[in-house]
Amino acid sequence: MSTVEPSAEEAVIPKVPVEGEEESAPEPDTPSDPLDAIEDEVERNEAKRLRAIDRRAAKKVIVPPEEEEKKEPESQYATKEDLKRMATVDAKKLLAPEVLEVWDDLTSIELGGFDSLDADSIAKNMAKRYTLYRQDNPIEGEDPAKDLVTSPKLPVSGAGGKKPVKKAEPSLPGYKEAVHPDNWYPAKE
């Protein structure tokens, strides 16, 4: 085996800068990162930051909303929220269409005193809310106080005159037909 000793010609001699010539860093033949070619350091760092964000975003798997719902563990038990939702759906079936049209507005009216798990209770409560809603938001051409102003016409007591009493044959001994209290006493003449 022979060993080769470096000769003076093969020795590396450091380069001495010459006046007027700027010293530059050695440039690699092929840059490993194309963004390293950007000379402004701030712009280069910003470009690398944005590239990193894009790469992270590309790695994330975008799950459609339908699949997200399926990922929730399905329980064989109904939660209280499920029961409330079912009662609300049943209550909507019991109500008139005009109440359903303003359902969202009615839910904003705070009126307690109902069972949120009972469809009948919810329906009655929403009917009360609808009445309150219509007082503040009347339908055009309709007077909401009309029913409150007028009263039903009732006959005046005692002014109707006497009605003839039907005489029925007693079917049982000692049995008398019921008579109106006006006929309990003989008439004054």
In a domain, 85, yes or no: yes
**pLDDT higher than threshold 80 for residue 123:** yes
Does any domain span residue 40?
Answer: no
Predicted model pTM: 0.39
- What is the domain count for the chain? 1
Mean pLDDT in residue range 121-127? 92
Q: Is 92 left (phi over 0), alpha (psi -120 to 50) or beta?
A: alpha
Closest C-alpha to 143, from 154, 151, 135 = 135
CA 105 vs CA 2, 99, 101, 127, 130: distances in Å: 100, 10, 9, 13, 9
pLDDT at 88 over 90: yes
8: phi then psi, degrees, rounded to nearest 5: -65, -30
Domain membership of residue 125 as a residue range: 80-141
